[in-house]
Structure 1
Amino acid sequence: MVPANFWEHQPVRRALAARHLGRVIRAYRCHPYHGRNPLPQSAVAGWLGITQAQLSRVENGSPIVHLDRLTHWAQVLRIPAKRLWFALPNQPCHFGPEADEEQPGHQQAGSQETAGLATPPALADAVTTASDEGGDITDRRQFHALAALAGIAATGSLDLLATPTDAPRSIGMEQVRFASSLVEEFRRADAAAGADQLCDIAVRVHAHLSTWATKATYSREVGDALQTALADLAIETAWLTIDADRRSTSRAYLNEAITRARIADDPRMEVRALACLSLLIRDDHPGESLQSADAALRSSVGWGTPRLATLLHLRAAHTYATMKDMSSFSRAMAKAHREFDRGTTEDDMPFLHFVTPQELRGIEGLSYLALGRPERAARAFRTIAGNPSPALRRNRIYYTVQLADAECRQGSLDEAAQIAMSVLPATGQVSSGRVSRHLAQVRSSLGQPQRSTTATREFVDAYDEAVSR
């Protein structure tokens, strides 16, 4: 929930006085409380259960007059009832300029973590009760798992997750938009907390919606949109199984996503699936991994953005590194940097949010580890630790663990132990099977008798105690 003085901002007050909810939403997105950059239309549209294009029309068109939409969107944004010109369910209408009194426990303006994550208002109440500095780790994990589904409560479409036999018999565009919005909720929570708990929820949601879709009726237009939405959900589920270290189940979801994307004639979704497939099979099938990245590049000709090209070149670069092909790795990495320097565009797909300078350096580090150059890898990972991305906490922790591994491979045992010790508390705040596995590998390496020092013993003891709880 935003602080009470949020609604005192002049653009917000003017939009409310004009009784134009579209302008209120635009003022909400652009409020300085959210940081230097406005909240993206795509993210807010997901909260509201509409598309980005629809939100643009709402913000710039005539005032919305349908009471059901007015009340629903006002509740999603948690606009105080006294600010509104219409009555919310079970509440009187008392629109006026007076400010709400600040309530105890509300977040104050300038909360960088909440702003960076663009947390839906309906979720913010729960965020204020969860502390990353204290409390039970299991409770935090459960919170983040449930946070991924916060959009369900906001949309009022809980019936979509009922048993398929109880779900509505027909599907309309509103239900499709709801299914699409779930992916963004999963993505946001995954970036903050990792996939272990989220994975189970995503698998269950995917199974429910897929089964329901096979039994329900819908128009051809809705059918194409539904196939795209289910493809997107399948890809996100595949990624969550990868991060949860359940890779054996991942490919089936990606194969399904590619099939659904082709049925819907949606090359963007197919390219996203191919990019994830390239990551999944890199170690076991590097040749096929390269083919997947190359196929995605070819399919994106004419519409692909620089950020998308960056990701696909990174996929190829890392694969070349696992094949010990230094020259091909260097060429692919140079292409990735060149595309990245071209910047972002409004056409970037939402899942590309993680393609940041830190990610480029992270992939470079992983590639140098694969090439047997731990000193170069350590330099890359250190730049991430020195300039972290607040919204991508899981990735920061993952690359810090990799830094400890790189130092260990160089023989800098005390340095590796100190880094691993420093990141150990943070690993309890994410539920990522990949992070846990790599940290266990560091512990195994540092725990060898011939590598015993005061620092390594302290880390090994602290690690063993942490995992035994």
Structure 2
Amino acid sequence: MTHANCPRCGGRLARDNGTGRCAPCQAAERDRLGAPPVVPASFWEHDPVRQALAERHLGRVIRAYRCHPYHGRHPLPQAVVAGWLGITQAQLSRVENGPPLVHLDRLTYWAQLLRIPAEHLWFELPGRRRLASRSGIASESSRIGSEVAAAAGAPVTAGTGGGTTDRRRFNTLAALAGIGATGYLGLLSTQSDAPRSIELEHVHFASSLVEELRRVDAAVGADSLCDVAMQVHARMSLWAAKATYSRQVGNALQSALADLSVEAAWLAIDADRRPEARPYLNEAITRARMADDQQAEVGALACLSMLLIRDDRPSESLHCSDAAFRASIGWATPRLTTLLHLRTARAYAALRDGSGFNRELTKAKHAFERGTDEDDLPFLQFVTAQELNGIAGLSYLALNRPDCAIESFRAITTSPSPVFRRNQTYYTVQLADAMYRQGDVNGAAQHGQDALLAVSQMSSGRVNRLLAQVRRNVGQHRQATSVTREFMDAYDQTVRL
């Protein structure tokens, strides 16, 4: 009679061994429950694993990984693998059975954690470069600067003697060059030989580009980025309309294009080009519904709620945030709940409903105190204590309570964020405006002066317009002081550069 062998080490098993593992391997099993094991190269040649990798669905790869014979007669429990990945068992179940992941940060982290060999992956791990010749997509780093600049309609170089606008644009394009590491930068330029078929790596590129646009926007503002995002959106949308793709890729593609549409809309808002934003948000909602992607839909509704406030349509903004709440029932994280309560609070403030504003702001603070979550959507990174105070300050201004607004904005300026520099500067200028409304002209000039250097290094039309208003208000005051004159002279000098 032939005895069974241990699938892990190959050793023969005793007749009464019902575990499917020899004793040494069972001991190793206990040791590795806290982290994934080191598996042999042949592990990745197992047919279910190879099939899942070919489908480019990391959730299915994880399921095949759990059920591999290498682990014995019983699959690894979802709870154990979820613990490795830093998520809950329920979250892992959704990952395994839901649509494919498209966010590169999570894909790369989990692939590295499970030690999946790079040659089996359909995306690039940090520190490695892959040529995407099959897709016809250029990846040479020498083309990064010229292609990004061409997409934005900007010069490739910037001389030291150029104006402020050129320096801002150059700094923005230099920051955007980080997307070259994805290997898909060629999609930013016009292509006559674009692939006829869209694969998941193209969807991953769109998602990584959205993340890069968010990062650069948080640092320097949207003016130079807005046209880049709109042109890339137009080209990828046209390509998606003409190309072929599977149903699985199609759902992921619609979600990625919805995210790109929302980002283009937000950049238009920050560039003070609000009329151009609404069509992108309408498209984002449509694409999200096509893909049955409630997360993308809620992100678009949250942005639309903010836009409607800026367009002086608070009742519609309130209905929009209510729709976002309904769509997020059952899965909203504390950070998303915080954002939606803030949107609602701002709408109530615009409607001059102080009790509604206080109620929603209290709910937002309680949700914020619950902390972050593994399932937080990427765009929620800006929902920080800074943003909570900022929205409260803007709402207080709408309620004609500049004293409370000053307190909220001052909390931001005393604890600056090194990441969200644009928002930090925006709220500093709002502090100057609130102080002017309260009658403190010198205070307004002082904080306007504090914001000048940062504003000169940014390209946010929204921030520029607000600071220009502060300059006009200070200049119209009957009696100038040394503080107000210093601010006005510095502002005028900066504008002339």
Pairwise TM-score range, normalised by the shorter structure = 0.7 to 0.9
Partner of 2:342: 314
Instruction: Identify the match of residue 243 of structure 2 among 183, 208, 216.
Output: 216
Change (3 A) 1:451 1:257: farther
Hey, what's the Cα distance between the residues in 2 that align with 1:379 and 1:255? 36
Partner of 1:172: 199
Q: Give unmatched runs, 5+ long, in structure 1.
A: 1-17, 21-39, 42-48, 78-133
Hey, what's the Cα distance between the residues in 1 that align with 2:390 and 2:479? 27
Matches within 5 A, 1:103-118: none
Hey, what's the Cα distance between the residues in 2 that align with 1:459 and 1:305? 43
Matched position secondary structure for 2:478: helix
Can you list the C-alpha shifts for 1:191-218, whole angstroms capped at 9, x where unaligned?
0000010111111111111111111111
Can you list the C-alpha shifts for 1:59-113, whole angstroms capped at 9, x where unaligned?
2324516299898743469xxxxxxxxxxxxxxxxxxxxxxxxxxxxxxxxxxxx
Matched position secondary structure for 1:282: helix
Give, in angstroms, the shift of residue 168 of structure 1: 1.1
Matches within 5 A, 1:26-175: 51-52=104-105, 54-64=107-117, 66=119, 73-75=126-128, 137-138=164-165, 140-147=167-174, 149-175=176-202
1:395 partnered with 2:423: yes
Give, in angstroms, the shift of residue 465 of structure 1: 1.9
Asked if structure 2 preserves the Cα contact closer than 8 Å seen for 1:318 and 1:367, the reply is yes
Hey, what's the Cα distance between the residues in 1 that align with 2:413 and 2:106? 37
Change (3 A) 1:281 1:70: closer
Asked if structure 1 preserves the Cα contact closer than 8 Å seen for 2:108 and 2:125, the reply is no
Asked if structure 2 preserves the Cα contact closer than 8 Å seen for 1:180 and 1:233, the reply is yes
Hey, what's the Cα distance between the residues in 2 that align with 1:402 and 1:414? 15
Hey, what's the Cα distance between the residues in 2 that align with 1:76 and 1:383? 44
Change (3 A) 1:257 1:63: closer
Matched position secondary structure for 2:112: helix
Hey, what's the Cα distance between the residues in 2 that align with 1:272 and 1:50? 15
Instruction: Identify the match of residue 308 of structure 2 among 276, 281, 304.
Output: 281
Change (3 A) 1:431 1:259: same
Partner of 2:3: none
Instruction: Identify the match of residue 193 of structure 1 among 198, 220, 227.
Output: 220
Matched position secondary structure for 2:272: coil
Give, in angstroms, the shift of residue 449 of structure 1: 4.4
1:262 partnered with 2:262: no
Can you list the C-alpha shifts for 1:375-431, whole angstroms capped at 9, x where unaligned?
111111111111011100000100000111111111111111111112111110111
Partner of 1:363: 391
Hey, what's the Cα distance between the residues in 2 that align with 1:273 and 1:69? 29
Change (3 A) 1:458 1:56: closer
Root mean square deviation of aligned Cα: 2.9
Partner of 1:380: 408
Hey, what's the Cα distance between the residues in 1 that align with 2:103 and 2:222? 26
1:425 partnered with 2:453: yes
Q: What letter is aligned with 2:114?
A: G
Matched position secondary structure for 2:406: helix
Same amino acid, percent of matched pairs? 58
Partner of 2:262: 235
Q: What letter is aligned with 2:293?
A: D
Hey, what's the Cα distance between the residues in 1 that align with 2:405 and 2:377? 29
Hey, what's the Cα distance between the residues in 2 that align with 1:246 and 1:19? 55
Q: Give unmatched runs, 5+ long, in structure 2.
A: 1-38, 42-85, 88-101, 131-160
Matched position secondary structure for 2:433: helix
Instruction: Identify the match of residue 274 of structure 2 among 247, 268, 293.
Output: 247
Of 51-60 and 229-238, deviating more is 51-60
Partner of 1:334: 362
Give, in angstroms, the shift of residue 318 of structure 1: 1.0
Hey, what's the Cα distance between the residues in 2 that align with 1:61 and 1:178? 23
Change (3 A) 1:69 1:384: same
Matched length: 374
Can you list the C-alpha shifts for 1:306-350, whole angstroms capped at 9, x where unaligned?
100100110111111111111110001001001101110010001
Hey, what's the Cα distance between the residues in 1 that align with 2:483 and 2:469? 17
Give, in angstroms, the shift of residue 156 of structure 1: 1.5
Asked if structure 1 preserves the Cα contact closer than 8 Å seen for 2:118 and 2:124, the reply is no
Asked if structure 2 preserves the Cα contact closer than 8 Å seen for 1:151 and 1:181, the reply is no
Bigger radius of gyration = 2
Give, in angstroms, the shift of residue 153 of structure 1: 1.4
Which aligned runs of 4 or more in structure 1 are off by greater than 6 angstroms?
67-72
Can you list the C-alpha shifts for 1:200-251, whole angstroms capped at 9, x where unaligned?
1111111111111111111111111110010000000000000000001000
Hey, what's the Cα distance between the residues in 2 that align with 1:264 and 1:147? 34
Give, in angstroms, the shift of residue 158 of structure 1: 2.8
Asked if structure 1 preserves the Cα contact closer than 8 Å seen for 2:124 and 2:182, the reply is no
Matched position secondary structure for 2:330: coil
Hey, what's the Cα distance between the residues in 2 that align with 1:235 and 1:324? 28
Of 175-184 and 458-467, deviating more is 458-467
